[in-house]
Amino acid sequence: MVNKALMVRLEAKPGQEEAVAEFLRSALPLVEQEPGTKPWLAVQFGQSTFGIVDAFPDDEARDTHLNGPVGTALGERADELFAVAPEITYLDVLADKV
């Protein structure tokens, strides 16, 4: 069961929409190496608005993910790809079907 989650909202800079989509696609193999990250979804809400929704069994797994390779890469490329800083929302999961 998952108890913790994250929702990350990403707004691409004009002209960087495909680069953001590719960045998110390229993150999947990194996340697949994290046993505590289930599920992980990269989504597109609109033309330039993207997001990540992921869930974890506990705070430790969530923190491990945030400090892992995807979180690091997100921070390193934020100025290049995003119009505003990524908006990270911490969530408590009330029920799930994973």
Domain assignment of residue 98, yes or no: no
Cis ω for the linkage preceding 57 (within 30 of 0): no
pLDDT in tens, 37-73: 999 999 999 999 999 999 999 999 999 999 999 999 9
Range(s) of the domain holding residue 59:
4-92
Domain assignment of residue 97, yes or no: no
**Distance in angstroms (rounded) separating the CA atoms of residues 20 and 48:** 9
Q: What is the mean pLDDT of residues 10-29?
A: 98
Domain assignment of residue 44, yes or no: yes
Query: What's the full length of the chain, in residues?
Result: 98
pTM score > 0.85 for this model?
yes
CATH number of the domain encompassing residue 19:
3.30.70.100
Give how many domains the chain has, as a whole number: 1
pLDDT for res 98: 78
pLDDT in tens, 22-40: 999 999 999 999 999 999 9
**Which residues neighbour 93 within 8 Å (Cβ) at sequence distance 6 or greater?**
2, 3, 4, 5, 55
